Amino acid sequence: MNGTIFKACSCRDEETGKKLGKSCPRLRRSSGGGERWSSTHGRWAYQLELPAHADGRRRNPLRRQGFATLEEAEAELGQARELLALDEDPHIRRRVTELMLSVLKDTRALPAVEEVRRKVRTRQDLNPSVTVAEWMEEFLRRKRRIDPTTRRSYEAHIRLYFVPYLGEIRLDRLRVSDVAGMFDAIEEFNDVITAARASGDPGERLGVRNRRPVGPATMHRIRATLRHALNIAIKQDRLIDFNPAAVVELPDAASPKALVWTDERVADWNRTLQRRLTAEQQQRRGSELSRAVMLNVYASTPRPSPVMVWTPSHTYAFLAHAAAHRLSALYRLIALRGLRRGEAVGLRWRDVDLSAGIAGVHWQITQLGWQPMQGKPKTEASDRTIALDDDTVAALRAHRKAQAAERLVAGEMWVDSGFVFTDEIGRPLHPQQVSDQFYLLAFQVGLPPVRLHDLRHGAATLMLAAGVDVKIVQETLGHVSSTFTRDTYTSVYPELAKTAAESTAALVNTTARNGQTARLINLPAKTGDNAST
């Protein structure tokens, strides 16, 4: 199983039209009486024999090509050899081989040696094909001694949440962000249920007839079911070695207090993050952590509060970093104008007037399970028109120009959906795609983590801190009343609170320095017994 390295190209025989591959004469050149590989023609490749199937049938060799340098081909061949040498047991070696081929098919890269070594050492199942839905079915089958009420609860959680939102994800690739995204979608669908029940449309009411909003206590029970099922996958079957449901934070039954990411809170959180990254690296025996692993640790590190708000400088850093991304205008609308995720994804060009600097929020795209669902905003107040600042107008003009260029590239494949934000061929965006990209951008720029929905909270706080009247903030956010706006978005940036305190004291001090005297009321003189009391 040493393998061979060679060069190949895509040249074809002039007579037969067949690819010459590694037999092309141009791949070698004469030099000093011998032959050497050409430095300008062809790409490097390798071939490695693989262990036979369990029944003795020979397996096709592993062939990989397209490497720009000899060193790249040698490195991957060495990685493949190392994977096959992890265990002498023929059964385990076959399982490693199947894992290699499966991961190569999905990612076009070999699995990390240290990750597979850990699974082999702890005797975990190397089969990567078990999905969350398949495991949930197996989990429920094993729970034979639970009471009927608990079984109904498990069945409901699996049917309504785990299968629709997470079912197609491979169990060993389930991430913290996937579980957090499920709960974000549940919260968003709560709004859909409330709006449908409040509407006079019989069709909308019928669509949510058997659904009711999911409260914080129920969300904790949903997470407990998922955590229990994943713990069994860890302890009994060794299918995974990490439980993402165990670290996802949920709000308490009472609405959590929003906190601002002050310098002190960022420093404390970053120290915890660094300790967890160091521990993860030690567990992997000093190997370099992949971006996916670091993003997972970043997302799962506990925050001071489930609802965190960026400072203005944080928001500026994020928008500056996101400016090069094709969805930068969308994130700007959420961060500065307070649009909900579904409202931003559902914005249509016919409702945007860039000359007047306004945008009509008349549609939204939410999730029912994993399925995107288009519809009207959740309440009458949510159906609104918002003002746009000059920079946001400029960002939307640039976005429309870029979208026109994408349309030219797509040609006949372009879908004329009419939405402001689409994929590269004009189709509406999936809401979860927007959330996933947001978390990645925030991670890349090194900002403390917040949820995408927290940008809306931050937009409200920014407007109130800038002195915008609460009534205007209410109408911009699409709230039913200004009382709700005032009660919900009470977080204040510490520096502004300090300024307000100083301004209040300064007003009194200025009055004294100007020699102003106050008019005092006349009190009766204290005489006799009254004077001594």
Give the model's pLDDT for residue 499: 65
Q: How many structural domains are present in the chain? A: 3
Q: Is residue 67 part of a domain?
A: yes
**Residues 156-186: pLDDT tens digits?**
999 999 999 999 898 988 999 999 999 989 9
Q: What is the pTM of this model?
A: 0.56
72, 100, 121 - which closes a domain: 121
Q: Is residue 289 part of a domain?
A: no
Amino acid at 104: L
216, 234, 254 - which closes a domain: 254
The CATH code of the domain that includes 355 is 1.10.443.10
For residue 462, CA distances in Å to 44, 128, 336, 491, 500 come to 55, 46, 8, 10, 15
Give the model's pLDDT for residue 34: 59
Q: Is residue 196 part of a domain?
A: yes
User: In this structure, are 181 and 315 located in the same domain?
Assistant: no
User: In this structure, are 436 and 359 located in the same domain?
Assistant: yes
User: In this structure, are 249 and 373 located in the same domain?
Assistant: no
Q: Is residue 430 part of a domain?
A: yes
Token pair for 111: 């699995």
How many angstroms separate the CA atoms of 50 and 44, rounded? 20
The single-letter DSSP state of residue 305 is S
Neighbour tally for 511: CB within 10 Å: 12
236, 254, 272 - which closes a domain: 254
User: In this structure, are 359 and 456 located in the same domain?
Assistant: yes
Q: From 477, 480, 435, select the one nearest 185 (Cα to Cα).
A: 435
User: In this structure, are 169 and 24 located in the same domain?
Assistant: no
Phi, psi of 448 (to 5 degrees): -65, 145
User: In this structure, are 112 and 167 located in the same domain?
Assistant: no
User: In this structure, are 149 and 109 located in the same domain?
Assistant: no
User: In this structure, are 344 and 473 located in the same domain?
Assistant: yes
User: In this structure, are 136 and 105 located in the same domain?
Assistant: no
How many angstroms separate the CA atoms of 450 and 455, rounded? 8
Q: Is residue 518 part of a domain?
A: no
CB crowding 118-154: b at 16 or more within 10 Å, else e: ebbeeebbbebebbbbebbeebbeeeeeeeeeeeebb
User: In this structure, are 198 and 330 located in the same domain?
Assistant: no
Neighbour tally for 388: CB within 10 Å: 21
The CATH code of the domain that includes 187 is 1.10.150.130
* Domain of residue 19, residue span: 4-121
Contact 230, 244 (CB under 8 A): yes
Angle CA(361)–CA(365)–CA(367) in degrees, nearest 5? Answer: 145
The single-letter DSSP state of residue 340 is -
User: In this structure, are 382 and 438 located in the same domain?
Assistant: yes
Give the DSSP letter string of 101-164: HHHHHHHSSPPPHHHHHHHHHTT----TT-BHHHHHHHHHHH--SS-HHHHHHHHHHIIIIIII
User: In this structure, are 236 and 356 located in the same domain?
Assistant: no
Neighbour tally for 483: CB within 10 Å: 11
Give the model's pLDDT for residue 497: 61
Q: Is residue 269 part of a domain?
A: no
Q: Which stretches of the chain score pLDDT less than 50?
A: 531-533
Give the model's pLDDT for residue 135: 93
Q: Is residue 503 part of a domain?
A: no
Q: Is residue 259 part of a domain?
A: no
Q: Is 12 helix (H, G, I), strand (E, B) or coil?
A: strand
Its sign, for the CA torsion 63, 64, 66, 68, is: negative
